[in-house]
Amino acid sequence: MKIGPVTLDTPFILAPLAGYTDLPFRLLCREMKAGLTVSEMISCHGLVYGQQKTMAMMQTVPEERPFAIQLFGNDPEIMGQAAHIVSTHPVDIIDINMGCPVRKVVKKGSGAALMKDLNRAEAIIRTVINNTELPVTVKFRSGWTESSINAPEFAMMAENAGAAAVTVHARTWSQMFGGSADRDVIARVKEAASIPVIGNGDILSYEQGIEMMKETGCDAVMIGRGALGNPWVFQPDGRPETLDKRLPVLLRHLELAGQYLDTDRLLFRIKNHAARYLSGLPGAAGIRQQIIQCPSLQEMKHLLQDLKT
Ligand SMILES: Cc1cc2nc3c(=O)[nH]c(=O)nc-3n(C[C@H](O)[C@H](O)[C@H](O)COP(=O)(O)O)c2cc1C
């Protein structure tokens, strides 16, 4: 699988998840064989104004590469300036978010709102491409509502504008995260486009990823929620059944968090990740309670290490 000049080792990609896909989790997923990782969505305005919190979201390390940075915004000029800034950082791909359904984002004409305005969407893609040497990809949804599904047409627009690949989260804006992803839309996008198509939505296991590629013909799959507490989703054998076998990966996650995050400020985020590793295990509820009560990352590590048999 290639995106422009960038070769992916595997066609399994970690989806951008705001609030979750920070450097430690992305690195862990790369170690667990994800072929590509994507930053959380980054505001083009935040980048152009040089906001420190926004700049920090571009943090990466050589072991993570290939790495994509996702931008969102509705102003072609500012998006172009942001693309130029991104290009001066160690990054392999720029992805443009045209699928975010959150009210705050669509109200400003960004994210999924761009699926209703193909001219503006095209201007954004072209301006971003004109401001970077990096391959540019576009992530969008099936369409705005059930009665206005336009993902195939949108993909062709993106391709003609010069996009190197597209990702389709096969839900409409109006579905938000409800219902289920419609694989038929991914198949239709694949038929319409000649650039690589990445299928996305509801993949919970490696087999389901393979199944989506077979069923729709898409070239790669992107996994979001299914990777939370389950970075084994990028491997054929999947998540182990016992706590003992899960602990080394969870402890590795905590080690990376300690290395790269402000763990005092983001302890709640680390706890949220950690609790998800226990899913389906006997005694999970009790251990989760203990995790929640930990006052520091160090204590969390001790707690989990003591659970080893
Ligand atoms: C908490 C959360 C945060 C998300 N943040 C982003 C984001 O920053 N950029 C983006 O393109 N999509 C974002 N998404 C959408 C996911 O990337 C993905 O398209 C969607 O969750 C469907 O895939 P999944 O079923 O594998 O999770 C987010 C989804 C969730 C649940």
C-alpha of residue 1 to centroid of ligand 1, in Å: 22
Active site residue 218: no
Q: What is the 3-state secondary structure (H, E, C) of 180-229?
A: CCCHHHHHHHHHHCCCCEEEECCCCCHHHHHHHHHHHCCCEEEECHHHCC
pLDDT at 126: 98
Confidence of residue 308 (pLDDT cuts 50, 70, 90): confident
Please give the number of the atom of ligand 1 that sits closest to the Cα of 171.
Answer: 22
Spacing, Cα 281 to ligand 1 middle (Å): 26
Whose tokens are 């943090």? That residue is: 59
Q: Is the pLDDT of residue 309 over 80?
A: no
Tens-digit pLDDT profile for residues 156-193: 999 999 999 999 999 999 999 999 999 999 999 999 99
**What are the C-alpha distances in Å from 294 to residues 12, 53, 287?**
34, 26, 11
* pLDDT, tens digit, 9 for 90 and up, residues 248-277: 999 999 999 999 999 999 999 999 999 999
Measure 299 CA to ligand 1 centroid, in angstroms: 31
Spell out the long-range contacts of 158-162 with Cβ–Cβ below 8 A and sequence spacing 24 or more.
158/121, 158/122, 158/125, 158/193, 158/195, 159/193, 159/194, 159/195, 160/122, 161/122, 161/125, 161/126, 161/129, 162/125, 162/126, 162/129, 162/136
Dihedral of CA 266/272/275/276: which sign?
negative
Strand duo 6-7 + 2-3: pairing: antiparallel
% of the chain beyond a pLDDT of 70:
100
Give residue 76 CA to ligand 1 midpoint distance, Å: 23
Cα–Cα–Cα angle for 167, 168, 171, rounded to 5 degrees: 155
Specify the residue with its C-alpha closest to ligand 1, atom 23: 201
Give me the residues paired with residue 97 across strands: 139
Q: Among 50, 102, 95, which Cα is nearest to 72's?
A: 95
Mean pLDDT of the chain: 97
| Nearest protein Cα to ligand 1, atom 12 | 16
Residue 76 zone, left/alpha/beta (φ > 0; ψ -120 to 50; rest): alpha
* Mutation test residue for ligand 1: of 13, 17, 25, the one with most atoms within 8 Å of CB: 17
Q: Which atom of ligand 1 lies at the shortest distance from residue 226's CA?
A: 26
How far is ligand 1, taken at its centre, from the CA of residue 211, in Å?
A: 20
Distance in Å, CA 39 to ligand 1 centroid: 11
Question: d(Cα 12, Cα 29) in Å, to the nearest integer?
Answer: 10
**By alpha-carbon position, which residue is closest to atom 22 of ligand 1?**
201
State both tokens at 287.
């251990």
Pocket around ligand 1: residues whose beta carbon is below 6 Å from it? Answer: 15-19, 40-41, 70, 97, 99-100, 139, 169, 200-203, 223-226
> Which residue has its alpha carbon closest to ligand 1 atom 30?
17
Rg (CA), the chain: 19
Q: What is the pLDDT of residues 225-250, one digit of tens each?
A: 999 999 999 999 999 999 999 999 99
Other CB atoms within a 10 A radius of the CB of residue 211 amount to 14
- Using CA of residue 256, residue 260, residue 264, residue 268, what is the dihedral sign? negative
Question: Which residue among 169, 172, 185 has the greatest number of ligand 1 atoms within 8 angstroms of its CB, and so is best to mutate?
Answer: 169
Query: Do the Cβ atoms of 27 and 63 come closer than 8 Å?
Result: yes
State mean pLDDT over 74-92.
98
